Amino acid sequence: MREIKFRGKRIDNGEMVYGSLSMGGGCPPNYDKTHTFIEPNEPVLRRIEVHPGTVGEYTSLKDCKNVEIYEWDRVMGTIDGESHEWIVEWEETDDYTGWPIGQDNEPIEVISNIHENKETKSGGTSPRNG
């Protein structure tokens, strides 16, 4: 069974937090759907507000160094002896696009994510900065 969890950048201090995703705030009739939270898997229930554009889902895959791969991660790998860099993205079809990760390919490594390091290896900037 696939583990479902998320990661997002905290509003209060900019650090990444990991856990379950929840949205909304307040109590009826003042319920507000404009807030996004990550609930860490900890003994004490708490919700940490995150920037909505930085939320990424765990792919249930790990890189060659056993690091979890999330949506919006920058990964590096080799194809036919050439080094390449990709951004992991989720498409509307509920499937990952581009080079298939973890399917008889050369090992890949997570090198950063677009929310912590907006510069690509070639010097460009990702269109989806958080």
pLDDT in tens, 4-26: 899 999 999 999 999 998 887 65
Instruction: Please report which confidence band the pLDDT of residue 129 belongs to, taking 50, 70 and 90 as the band edges.
Output: very low
* pLDDT tens sequence across 92-104: 665 555 555 555 5
SS in 3 state form for 3-14? CCCEEEEECCCC
65 in the same domain as 40: no
Query: Which has the higher per-residue pLDDT, 109 or 30?
Result: 109
64 in the same domain as 46: no
123 assigned to some structural domain: no
1 assigned to some structural domain: no
* pLDDT tens sequence across 36-91: 888 887 767 788 889 988 999 998 888 989 999 999 999 998 877 788 888 888 76
Q: How many domains is the chain built from?
A: 2
127 assigned to some structural domain: no
Give Cα separations from 92 to 52, 57, 85, 96, 107 (angstroms): 18, 14, 22, 9, 26
Range of the domain at 28: 6-53
pTM as predicted: 0.72
